[in-house]
Amino acid sequence: MLAKIRSFGVFGIEAYPIEIEIDVSRGLPAVSIVGLADTSVRESKERVKSAIKNSGFSWPQERITVSLAPSDIKKEGASYDLAIALGVLAASGQINCSQSENFFIMGELALNGSLRKTPGILPVAIAVSRLLVKNIVIPRQNSKEAGIVRGINIWPMDSLKQVVEFLNNPDGFVPLEITETELYRSKHDYPFDFCEVKGQLSAKRAIEVAVSGGHNILMIGPPGSGKTMLAKRIPSIMPDLTFEEILEITKIHSVAGNLANNDGIVTLRPFRNPHHTASHIALVGGGSSPMPGEISLAHHGVLFLDELPEFNRNCLESLRQPLEDGYMRISRILKSFVFPSSFILVCAMNPCPCGFYTDPKKSCRCNPNKIAAYIGKISGPLLDRIDIHIELPSIKYTQLSDTKDAESSASIKTRVAKAREIQRNRFSAENGKYQTIYCNSRMQAKLIKKYCRLDTEAGKLLKIAMTELGLSARAYDKILKVSRTIADLSGAEIILPEHISEAIQYRALDRQW
């Protein structure tokens, strides 16, 4: 007897429909799974067999053939367990699955027949919303994740037995309804605040400028100067996520299986801090079946690279394209995958191998050649893509012992939000089908020429800086973008000399080291 169950697969961060056909026929007891199934899918026969027996049903002692169509796309993961189990029960005549055509079914089975949380449900829910059949049966742990998508009927289940009862009598169940209050209940404040950081006023100002314009930033300072402490607090001053941004971030984290069990939705800006020993694939994504890497998991958030020169050179150079385009393209023989990767890159490094080259109280043990080689680990093209380079001095005792609270993140965030609003209004007319610009760092040459207007004195100052420092064309554009952000923070229409001067100061590695 033949049975058909509708399900979904995930390839990259996109979902596609799958038709699962199960045939139970006479022959020696055996299970054959066809359709480019990987090891985890082929192992599902053991999970399905135990789940069926432990749910009170019997496993047919006949030949079982499972076909996953389309057969030219590789299938992986345990999300097909539930659909295969229902197909086996229907094909062996134990249940009536006449209603199954009206539902898409996904879920991993435990050996006792209960359903486990399955990665990649959000892309599936988004894909279902575009189809005529808008019913999806999923594990209950994934209900909040799927609840982000409107216009579909979500049927959360706890076990195989409950799903069978549901298909026998769908009218006895009601679809899940999640209100916005329940959806955003997991939202909470960041545990870090800038009021906890003593001193480093110039660094805080540079970070405020960086976040206001979406600029990448590099902090250079001796050990203990507060580089990591500052970086961890950057998300606390970033604007609140929009619904579209929440959807994009949650989709990526859903595919990666990083969603918390109780939340099911990402409501805070991501902060990713990979170790400097991270591999190329771990950083940018990839693999035989490409998965998002750290740069995609940091989408709409912060990617913090501590000890920047210690990262593998190939890993660092692979950042150049996503920093420029806002996405990472990974090509395979059958298909190319595009992972969104629009983030603020925050880097930290010591001024030399020992770390004390700029420390006034501790002597540096490095000779000039060692220092040059250390700085030289970071290529010029990558530095050109980092808009702001700042030096952090060591913290003095008077600053550490000061009992007064510094400015809070909430106060800084207010100014950042105001500057971002100015930029959003400015670029609203420029956004179209092929581009979305939400901050100054995303301006292309045409928009730089249009919106980065200098007064006469500011133009002269920039000319002197370009001549004396030998800056590249890309550095020239970066200075204009940063100065435009500084002007937005001050509410100025035209870029003035003080704005250009501050932006030039944020190019520490372009000056004599």
pLDDT given at position 294: 95
C-alpha to C-alpha distance for 173 and 171, rounded to whole angstroms: 5
In this predicted structure, what is the pLDDT of residue 186? Answer: 56
What is residue 140's predicted lDDT score, i.e. its pLDDT?
A: 92
pLDDT at 252: 93
- Give 89-142 pLDDT, tens digit per residue: 999 988 887 788 899 999 999 999 999 999 999 999 999 999 999 999 999 999
Residue percentage of the chain with pLDDT more than 90? 52
Q: Which of 54, 174, 66 is nearest to 114 (CA)?
A: 54
Q: What amino acid is encoded at 431 in this protein?
A: N
- The phi, psi pair for 299, rounded to 5°, reads -55, 130
Q: What is the model's pLDDT at position 512?
A: 47
For residues 127 and 8, the answer to whether their CB atoms sit within 8 Å is: yes
Q: pLDDT digits over 422-457, tens only?
A: 999 998 887 764 467 889 998 888 899 999 999 999
Is pLDDT of 302 > 50? yes
Does 34 have pLDDT greater than 80? yes
Instruction: Report the percentage of the chain scoring pLDDT > 70.
Output: 96
Per-residue pLDDT, 511? 54
Confidence at 513, pLDDT banded by 50, 70, 90: very low
pLDDT higher than 50, residue 338? yes
Q: Which pLDDT value is given to residue 180?
A: 65
Tokens representing 362 are 């501790």
Quick one: which of 251, 297, 300, 291 has its CA closest to 272?
297
pLDDT of residue 15: 92
Q: Of 65-69, 181-185, 353-357, 362-366, which range is least confident?
A: 181-185
CA gap 77, 43 in Å, rounded: 10
What is the structure's pLDDT at 181?
64
More confidently predicted of 69 and 261: 69
Mean pLDDT of the chain: 89
Residue among 178, 145, 177 at smallest CA distance from 267: 145
> Looking at residue 236, what is its pLDDT?
94
Domains of the chain: 2-178 (3.30.230.10), 194-440 (3.40.50.300), 443-513 (1.10.8)
Q: Judge whether 254 and 291 are in contact, CB under 8 Å.
A: no
Distances (CA, A) of 45 to 50, 66, 78, 381: 9, 10, 10, 51
Read off the pLDDT band of 365 (50, 70, 90): confident
**pLDDT tens-place string over residues 268-296:** 999 999 999 999 899 998 877 788 999 99
Instruction: Find the mean pLDDT for residues 477-487.
Output: 94
Instruction: Dump pLDDT digits (tens) for 163-219.
Output: 999 998 888 888 888 766 666 655 667 889 999 888 889 999 999 999 999 999 999
